[in-house]
Amino acid sequence: MTLHHTDPEVHTIIAQEQQRQQLKLSLIPSENFFSASVREAVGSVFMHKYAEGNIKKRYYEGNVFVDKLESLTIRRAKKAFKLPDEWSVNVQALAGSNANLAVYLALLDIGDTMMGMFLPDGGHLSHGWSYEPKTVQDPHSYIYFGGSRKVNITSRIFKTIQYKTSPLTQQFDYDEVEQIAMEHKPKLIITGGTAYPREIDYHRMKSIAQKVGAYYMADIAHEAGLIAAGAMKSPIGIADVVTMTTHKTLRSGRGALIFAHNDIIKKINRAVLPGLQGGPFNHSIAGICVGLGEVLKPEFKEYAFQTVRNAQFLVEELKRYNFTIVSGGTDKHLILLNLTNKPILGKKFARALDYAGIVANMNTMPQEIRSPADPSALRIGTPWITTRGMKEQEMVQIASWINRVMEICSPWKEYEFDEFEKSVKESVEIQTISDEVKELCLKFPLKI
């Protein structure tokens, strides 16, 4: 029997979410929409099987087809990312943070120093975040030492320091990064994050790591699909380790991949199992395998390059409405809007856009002086809308809607959040935009 008959309550919730995805524009850069084939693989009978261990070295019997699936996934990953012969990949990590932690477990000892990007500038929690409550950071400093509130396990078991972007360019100043590394001698240097819109100089970062005797890990969770397609530069063969999630621009279901030289990947395999987890999620690996097969097709390359074109075109359209773009632009799928010259900041603006049918997220930005719970910026991106088939013409319309929402909400700038949301919810003008968004969505339907 179908879910509709066995559990109508859950069936209704799923149907509601399906309708939301179909009739709203997701501009969250870390989200994407998977093909029916990927979803079929994830929902397959592989979810029933335990497969603790590695290929041909399982602790349970009955894994002949799991081995076949995992071997195929590895081959496709190697081909998609053009791995050197001496490199391999682990496909078992359950998610990006788990993958990063496996690398740390493999390469570091408790108490070692690791160095990643400052979280408010666009870094990631799993790169070593801690903070001191109610302390405003010096926006002109290039280094951050964390605080007593160690919110991620990495900052609890390692000494973590973080480098910031330049106050002038809001991009990396590699000379400053090198100076910090030379002074503090980290054992691991990390690049990548959640809101850095520019290319990273992987060769320069590797050079810095070599100078201080550190490993270099490139976390390309956001850019993975763009890199596989050749729309962005690749750190494969340059960094010592490359980690990524599979559900963002790679569009391959939920999970993670870890790439490294064969000598290092052996350590990482042991860190994943038995170091951090038991049996892998075989059904997730099945989805990743199907997604990687799609990555190898010409259509994916066109999608990836169009994703970047859409983001860069959207930047220019937003500038026409006097939106300030962090770093002045983007090299990828991701755009960060500095809203300090506008009446409405990130938290309120994100909520207003959602009522208008445009899904984005509030975000901190370089030189942020506000709380992450009510930050100055808005983060948007183009992966999902590009998957829908939208191109430059639609970016013109989307930018116009974003500006209209800002203009409509401006009179309510002094309202407390609940009163602001009530005004947005009751606004006929906001509802009109939502209806217009639905019309566009129906012209580019998701293949559910």
The pairing of strands 256-261 and 358-359 is unpaired
Is 50 catalytic? The answer is yes
Residue among 164, 254, 342, 388 flagged as catalytic:
254
Is 248 catalytic? The answer is yes
Question: d(Cα 28, Cα 350) in Å, to the nearest integer?
Answer: 11
Is 414 catalytic? The answer is no
Cβ 123 vs Cβ 372: under 8 Å: no
Is 70 catalytic? The answer is no
Look at residues 289, 293, 274, 247 and name the one whose alpha carbon lies nearest to residue 95: 247
Residue among 70, 121, 178, 219 flagged as catalytic:
219
Residue among 164, 248, 251, 379 flagged as catalytic:
248
| Residue 278 vs residues 158, 256, 269: alpha-carbon distances, Å | 24, 15, 12
Is 163 catalytic? The answer is no
Residue among 50, 174, 321, 415 flagged as catalytic:
50
Cβ contacts of 78-86, under 8 Å, gap ≥ 24: 79/296, 80/228, 80/292, 80/295, 80/296, 81/227, 81/228, 81/234, 81/236, 81/242, 81/259, 82/234, 82/236, 83/236, 83/237, 83/259, 84/236, 84/237, 86/261, 86/262
The pair of three-digit structure tokens given for residue 218, joined into one six-digit string: 């490139």
Residue among 39, 49, 52, 324 flagged as catalytic:
52
Cβ 217 vs Cβ 260: under 8 Å: no
- Start-to-end CA distance of the chain, whole Å, equals 20
Question: d(Cα 223, Cα 133) in Å, to the nearest integer?
Answer: 32
Is 194 catalytic? The answer is no
Question: d(Cα 154, Cα 162) in Å, to the nearest integer?
Answer: 13
Residue among 245, 307, 382, 387 flagged as catalytic:
245
Query: What residues act catalytically?
Result: 50, 52, 219, 245, 248, 254
